[in-house]
Structure 1
Amino acid sequence: MSVSTAIQIYRLLACILLSGYAVGTGIKEAAAALNGLMLAYDDSTGLWDLSDPDAAWWQSSVALQATLDFMTASGTREHLPYANYTINMQRAPLAWWPQGGGDFRAESTDDTGWWALAMTSMYTLTGERSFLDIALEDEAYMAQYWTLSECNGGLIWRIQDVSYKAAISNELYIELTATLHNLIPWDTTFLNRSLDAWDWFKDSGMINSGWLINDGLTKAANDSCINNNAPTWTYNQGVVLGGLVQLYLATGDAQFLIFGRNIAGAVLASAQLSPGGILTEPCPLEGCPDGNAASFKGLFIRNLAKLNAHLPDRPYSLFLSTNANTMYVNARSSSAGDTDLYGMLWQGPFDKTSIGRQQSAVMLLVAALGV
């Protein structure tokens, strides 16, 4: 089945799905979900982990990003003090990573990348140069782990043992460098780095024959690097879309949007990633590796919305609104006082709350505001 045929069938199914009830999510629902996320905010650390001891450090950067996305979309600045507090608390030297430490330099390149992108959002929102300076420092930290000795390029993922060319680290670097170019007048350095990183990435083998992105590369018998056929996590399909949009804005070259369409269309056409037209991780609810996976869908959906906004036919608007409405109806907690908390499966039923689940819900509801 072609991608275009799959999308046409999906649109028909979505209309049938939505015809059974009248729903619609908006700013009120997004604000309520963000308030649910803020229930997990720990004033002593500036992290979103108070009720979720398994939350990873990088997930607080995503929670920060979700908060910034809401403020950008709504015009409110109510949560800006929390954002500033989180940044001030977390940019301090980290005792658990003495080799780097400070300003979000971490033991894995993707952790630094998440925080750096949030800093570009803070700079865009506030105009305060200090946030851009942190993002620049983080880019320099990531760039030093681009290695030619394995796979002919690419950022390594884990710094301590200089191992693994992972999709997510390189996607984040593409988006970060292109974003920096678009924020800095007369820049050429970051655009060239982003273009080089994209050229390496698209030829690396991580994009499989079905236009989906596996988790990373592994060595073959002849010492070359090949696709490791690891799961096609939704965030690996999403972050690259953000990078492609930034490269399109930087160059005006429509090829980047075409690449984005191919990847996004493959997700929508996938029976594993979009069963019944609802975004789903490629693992059973009980089989996802850890709490990290709960954050992935929100990261895909926010970047799909970015791509959608730059395509004249807005091909993903129905997908965005259908997922938001389905989640609102089927995945919300029914417990008294907790009705704006959301579970892992947007198809439902609600299972439990976590940082990843809630920040993904916020990102979905914010993304649907633009359709």
Structure 2
Amino acid sequence: MHRWARRLWTTAGATACGVVLSLLATAVPTQAASPAVPTTARTRATAAVDAMMGFYDQETGRWQPESPWWQSGNALQALLDYMAKTGSRKYMSEVKNTIAVQRAPLEWWPQGGGEFRADSTDDTGWWALAMTRMYDLTRDQKYLDIAELDEAYMRDYWDDTCGGGIWWDIPAKSYKNAISIELYIKLAASLHNRIPGDKVYLAHALEAWQWFKDSGMINGDHLVNDGLNTQSGGCANNGGTTWTYNQGVVLGGLAELYKATGDKSLLTDARDIADAVIASPSLTQNGILTEPCQAVGDCNSDQAAFKGIFARNLGELDALLTGHPYRSYLRAQASSAYTTSRNSSHQYGLSWAGPFDQATIGRQESAVSLLTSVL
């Protein structure tokens, strides 16, 4: 099935599932009131992870299988990040099951040959980054080998159109966008930082960052628009929505590049973007991170996951900065989401300012990444 058709189908499935879960959720208070209410950042994150695993399907190895495939890769990342922070291995069997099942050739893109090589470069990037975290946890070389295959696959779709960059949509090669190049930067830099003596991946990451920085996708407000107008035959910033995840992944990529090079200008560039998000009236409202689609109430199943991706990557940047300047911002998000956007089953809604609306894997993995970022 073509990716766009799959997205339409999966969105409809997620919506239907969300309606049912929302109806169930209305039967309970929007805040947990039992004696077992989590009181620490660790226990709150653990409760959110346990609730996320309620979406897990053992047979497919996916979370809420009717939701977009990349979201299971992102849920895997959220779970692995939590495991890395806490030392928990409670769900390691589910992690290994997911990798074993989903690394097989994809039903809708068998020509990729498996190992998470999909019909869009960003989908591959999410799973590849999860493999680098799995390597961190296990030191098993096979996971790093998969990530290397994925980097090579994404690199195959770099060409000279617009002076460089990676195509997002593999079949059509019509769109060069922010998320694919950001994921590629982070992946290549992550591989460099895990492979002693590497020079190739570092060169790839630096080249990709320089192209992205010069591409025009980072606008005059230091916010990242969605992509270039390649679909119309041009190479200019398309003025697309400044989704939170496009602001986030680049922060994680620059954090990895800084660890590789020690170049403090990379941290300056990252802070310009992070500060712009906090200052933006459309992305931070009353101190709380907000997706642009929330204002009109039309966020889809993909967009429901975006804010947690920003929080994850902001946390990775913050860990490298003297004084941890973004820790208070992340803690404010976590406190607001826990207090106003959670039901008694520790499922989280779309708006971190509340109220709880419905439960979906996109919303829950987003909350897990947020709550993990403050551990």
Give TM-score scaled by structure 1 length: 0.89
Q: Contact (CA 8 Å) 2:174, 2:230: kept in 1 or not?
A: no
Match of 1:127?
A: 139
Unaligned runs of 5+ in 1: 1-22
CA–CA separation in structure 2 for the residues paired with 1:174 and 1:263 = 16
Residue of structure 2 aligned with 1:183, choices 194, 219, 225: 194
CA–CA separation in structure 1 for the residues paired with 2:135 and 2:168 = 26
Q: Deviations over 1:318-343 (max 9, x none)?
A: 10111100100000114xxx2x0000
2:138 maps to amino acid: T
CA–CA separation in structure 2 for the residues paired with 1:27 and 1:219 = 45
Structure 1 residue 216 and structure 2 residue 216: aligned? no
Please state how far the C-alpha of 1:288 moved relative to its aligned partner: 3.4
Residue of structure 1 aligned with 2:283, choices 241, 261, 273: 273
CA–CA separation in structure 2 for the residues paired with 1:308 and 1:94 = 36
Structure 1 residue 200 and structure 2 residue 215: aligned? no
Q: Deviations over 1:148-187 (max 9, x none)?
A: 1x21110000001112001000000000000000000000
CA–CA separation in structure 2 for the residues paired with 1:30 and 1:238 = 20
Name the SS for the 2:236 alignment partner. Answer: strand
Residue of structure 1 aligned with 2:336, choices 326, 338, 342: 326
CA–CA separation in structure 2 for the residues paired with 1:94 and 1:279 = 34
Name the SS for the 1:89 alignment partner. Answer: helix
Q: Contact (CA 8 Å) 1:343, 1:352: kept in 2 or not?
A: yes
Name the SS for the 1:227 alignment partner. Answer: coil
Residue of structure 1 aligned with 2:59, choices 27, 44, 56: 44
Correspondence list, 1:82-231, <5 A: 82-148=94-160, 150-219=161-230, 224-231=234-241
Please state how far the C-alpha of 1:224 moved relative to its aligned partner: 4.4
Residue of structure 1 aligned with 2:77, choices 65, 74, 78: 65
Please state how far the C-alpha of 1:101 moved relative to its aligned partner: 3.1
Q: Contact (CA 8 Å) 1:25, 1:328: kept in 2 or not?
A: no
Structure 1 residue 27 and structure 2 residue 42: aligned? yes
Match of 1:15?
A: none
Aligned pair count reads 338
1:34 maps to amino acid: V
Name the SS for the 1:238 alignment partner. Answer: helix
Q: Contact (CA 8 Å) 1:285, 1:345: kept in 2 or not?
A: no
Name the SS for the 1:361 alignment partner. Answer: helix
Match of 2:249?
A: 239
CA–CA separation in structure 1 for the residues paired with 2:42 and 2:337 = 15
Match of 1:356?
A: 362
Cα distance 1:142–1:341, how it changes in 2: closer, same or farther (>3 A)?
same
Give TM-score scaled by structure 2 length: 0.88
CA–CA separation in structure 1 for the residues paired with 2:113 and 2:61 = 17
Please state how far the C-alpha of 1:99 moved relative to its aligned partner: 2.2
Q: Contact (CA 8 Å) 2:176, 2:230: kept in 1 or not?
A: no
CA–CA separation in structure 2 for the residues paired with 1:160 and 1:176 = 22
CA–CA separation in structure 2 for the residues paired with 1:249 and 1:288 = 38
1:270 maps to amino acid: S
Q: Contact (CA 8 Å) 1:216, 1:227: kept in 2 or not?
A: yes
Unaligned runs of 5+ in 2: 1-37
Q: Contact (CA 8 Å) 1:25, 1:365: kept in 2 or not?
A: no
Cα distance 1:349–1:182, how it changes in 2: closer, same or farther (>3 A)?
same
Please state how far the C-alpha of 1:114 moved relative to its aligned partner: 0.4
Please state how far the C-alpha of 1:313 moved relative to its aligned partner: 2.1
Q: Contact (CA 8 Å) 1:327, 1:348: kept in 2 or not?
A: yes
Q: Deviations over 1:190-232 (max 9, x none)?
A: 00000000000000000000000000000499x6411111110
Q: Deviations over 1:238-262 (max 9, x none)?
A: 0000100011000001011000100
Name the SS for the 2:159 alignment partner. Answer: coil
CA–CA separation in structure 1 for the residues paired with 2:293 and 2:361 = 19
CA–CA separation in structure 2 for the residues paired with 1:202 and 1:48 = 34
CA–CA separation in structure 2 for the residues paired with 1:76 and 1:284 = 34
CA–CA separation in structure 2 for the residues paired with 1:220 and 1:91 = 31
CA–CA separation in structure 2 for the residues paired with 1:57 and 1:42 = 13
Q: Deviations over 1:122-163 (max 9, x none)?
A: 001100000000000011111000011x21110000001112
CA–CA separation in structure 1 for the residues paired with 2:234 and 2:296 = 35
Q: CA RMSD in A?
A: 1.4
1:210 maps to amino acid: D
Q: Contact (CA 8 Å) 1:242, 1:303: kept in 2 or not?
A: yes
Cα distance 1:128–1:272, how it changes in 2: closer, same or farther (>3 A)?
same
CA–CA separation in structure 1 for the residues paired with 2:133 and 2:222 = 29
Please state how far the C-alpha of 1:285 moved relative to its aligned partner: 5.8
Q: Contact (CA 8 Å) 2:174, 2:231: kept in 1 or not?
A: no
Match of 1:7?
A: none
Structure 1 outlier segments of 4+, above 2 Å = 284-289
Name the SS for the 1:207 alignment partner. Answer: coil
Q: Contact (CA 8 Å) 1:278, 1:323: kept in 2 or not?
A: yes
Please state how far the C-alpha of 1:286 moved relative to its aligned partner: 5.5
Match of 2:30?
A: none
Structure 1 residue 305 and structure 2 residue 311: aligned? no
2:158 maps to amino acid: W
